[in-house]
Chains A and B, each alone.
Chain A
Amino acid sequence: MAAEAIVAAVDVGMTVEQIAASQLGMKAIGAGIAVGLTGIGSGVAEMGIGSAAVGAVAENKDMFGLALLFTVIPETIVIFGLVVALLLLFV
């Protein structure tokens, strides 16, 4: 795969250093997209849950613990994104 990329890069006149830098850049963009999109997804999900949770807590203070728990459940999505980003960058 890497050999094919090098052959293709040589064809368009790139050096090996440039290819390595380009690969690193692509990984960084992928990691950014993974964290960014999952962050947006979590935000959208938490908007609904969070506002409902605040509403429920405003009426019944005992709901606080449960409401907080439900609100942070979508955080798992962004953690998946973060894991993917770390795998891309460091593995």
Chain B
Amino acid sequence: MVGVRGISAPYIYVCTRMRVRKAKLIPKEEYQRMLNMGLPEITRIIGETEYKQEIDELGTTFKGIDLIEVALSWNLAKEYQKIQEITPGNLKQFTQAYLRRWDIQNVLTIFRGRMQGSATGKIKEILVPAGSLDTKALDRLLAEDNPERIIEALKGHHMYPVLVREYPYAKESGSFSRMENELFKQFYAEIITGAESGIKGGNLFLDFIRLDIDVKNLKTLFRLRADACEEDAREMYIPGGALSATNFSNLILIRNQGEFIDMLKGLYRQKALLALLDEIREEKTFRDAEIRLTRVQLEQMERMSKRHPISIHPILVYLEKKKYEVFNLRALARGKESKLPSEKIVNYLVM
């Protein structure tokens, strides 16, 4: 059913649902209130919001921080699966493609958990079955003890070739960061190919993905500066965004902070990003710049979704905002559990 100017009723329906869901997310003031509370009070507050069902269901099995962790993961997975169910046509295809990033996260969580010798139950608590690997598939992977067997179990999956190629290096170095980077490179390359194949609405999806890649590259640059990393960082570059490989390599080599910021400012046009770059110019480290960059990214995404109200943008904005709500609540709960002062916890929240 195609309506006026090619906008169909199901698109309007889904975009409105996403907007209503976004409006129901926990507001900034609520986080400020929660910062002054203890863990039991935070659990109670969370139990009064959209997480009520999960908190009630799991309340008898888990307690304290575990209850919050598991309830948040369950809710996030349920929410993402529901969205995949209600999105129509091309939007479903884009949403599923975008949510495949959770496959990478889940597989790496299992690898890392196994490497550190964590209990299967503990690993399962933090998995979010939102991508193409559902709960059953993840359970099968969790049943394997050996990483080689986990990779074999993924035969036929998108990630399989990269996992086979990168595992020997990860095993040797004991770090999965290169594998993670390669998996994300493959993920973005596949998404870009899919979006450029001429599917209606692909251009808008591509804009969103490009922003995501840019932010990821910027975060890598910030991290490299913060850690003064000397290894060859050019491999960490993810192609597809506005930042070219040459500029990325040049930015790594710049030692002077002012020059670094000036070059970045010449490459981007987004006002919010330029303002952030001006703010961090005088700062000694870029450690908390990542969170601020995420805030800028969300603002930019929000702006894009307002410019294209009936498109893939409102859906993706909601997916991102929901993800950060869960991150925030998790950071809050963990911070309170570790008795961190509120001023410290607030720096980790994306509000």
Binds A, one of B16-24, B65-73, B156-164, B208-216: B16-24
The 8 closest A-B pairs by CB, nearest first: A55-B16, A51-B9, A59-B20, A51-B12, A52-B16, A55-B13, A51-B13, A55-B17
Whether B10 lies near A51 (C-beta < 8 A) is: yes
Name the A residues within 8 Å of B7 (CB-CB).
48
* Given A48-B4, A54-B13, A55-B14, 8 other A-B residues pairs in contact with their CB atoms under 8 A: A44-B3, A48-B7, A50-B9, A51-B10, A51-B13, A55-B16, A58-B13, A59-B24
Shortest distance from the beta carbon of B93 to any chain A beta carbon, whole Å: 20
Whether B17 lies near A58 (C-beta < 8 A) is: yes
Shortest distance from the beta carbon of A61 to any chain B beta carbon, whole Å: 11
* A44, A48, A50, A58 — most chain B CB neighbours (10 Å): A48
Name the B residues within 8 Å of A59 (CB-CB).
17, 20-21, 24
* A53, A59, A60 — most chain B CB neighbours (10 Å): A59
Shortest distance from the beta carbon of A80 to any chain B beta carbon, whole Å: 20
What is the interface of chain B mostly: helix, strand, loop, or mixed? helix
User: Number of residue pairs across A and B with beta carbons under 8 Å?
Assistant: 40
- The answer to whether residues A60 and B12 also contact, given A44-B3, A47-B3 and a CB cut-off of 8 A, is no
Shortest distance from the beta carbon of A55 to any chain B beta carbon, whole Å: 3
Query: Contacting A48 at CB < 8 Å: which of B12, B14, B17, B24?
Result: B12
* Residue contacts A-B, CB under 8 angstroms, 23 given: A44-B3, A47-B3, A48-B4, A48-B7, A48-B9, A48-B12, A50-B9, A51-B9, A51-B10, A51-B13, A51-B16, A52-B13, A52-B16, A55-B12, A55-B15, A55-B16, A55-B17, A56-B17, A56-B20, A58-B17, A59-B17, A59-B24, A60-B20
Name the A residues within 8 Å of B24 (CB-CB).
59
Name the B residues within 8 Å of A50 (CB-CB).
9
What is the interface of chain A mostly: helix, strand, loop, or mixed? helix
* B15, B17, B21 — most chain A CB neighbours (10 Å): B17
* B240-275 interface (Cβ within 8 A of A): none
Question: CA of A55 to CA of B13 in the docked complex: distance in angstroms?
Answer: 5
Interface string of B50-86 (1 = CB under 8 A from A): 0000000000000000000000000000000000000
Name the A residues within 8 Å of B17 (CB-CB).
55-56, 58-59
Chain B residues touching A, range: 10 to 19
Question: CA of A47 to CA of B16 in the docked complex: distance in angstroms?
Answer: 13
Shortest distance from the beta carbon of B216 to any chain A beta carbon, whole Å: 31
Task: Identify the A interface with B (CB < 8 A).
Answer: 44, 47-48, 50-56, 58-60
* B6-43 interface (Cβ within 8 A of A): 7, 9-10, 12-17, 20-21, 24
Question: CA of A50 to CA of B20 in the docked complex: distance in angstroms?
Answer: 15
Question: CA of A52 to CA of B21 in the docked complex: distance in angstroms?
Answer: 13
Name the B residues within 8 Å of A53 (CB-CB).
16
Name the B residues within 8 Å of A58 (CB-CB).
13, 17
Shortest distance from the beta carbon of B164 to any chain A beta carbon, whole Å: 43
Q: Which residue of A lies closest to B12 (CB)?
A: A51
Question: CA of A53 to CA of B9 in the docked complex: distance in angstroms?
Answer: 11
Interface string of B127-156 (1 = CB under 8 A from A): 000000000000000000000000000000
Whether A47 lies near B20 (C-beta < 8 A) is: no
Name the B residues within 8 Å of A55 (CB-CB).
12-17, 20
- The answer to whether residues A44 and B4 also contact, given A50-B9, A59-B21 and a CB cut-off of 8 A, is yes
Name the A residues within 8 Å of B10 (CB-CB).
51
Shortest distance from the beta carbon of A62 to any chain B beta carbon, whole Å: 11
Question: CA of A7 to CA of B286 in the docked complex: distance in angstroms?
Answer: 91
- The answer to whether residues A56 and B16 also contact, given A47-B3, A48-B3 and a CB cut-off of 8 A, is yes
Q: Which residue of A lies closest to B14 (CB)?
A: A55
Question: CA of A60 to CA of B17 in the docked complex: distance in angstroms?
Answer: 9
Question: CA of A56 to CA of B17 in the docked complex: distance in angstroms?
Answer: 6
Name the B residues within 8 Å of A51 (CB-CB).
9-10, 12-13, 16
Name the A residues within 8 Å of B21 (CB-CB).
59
Shortest distance from the beta carbon of A70 to any chain B beta carbon, whole Å: 12
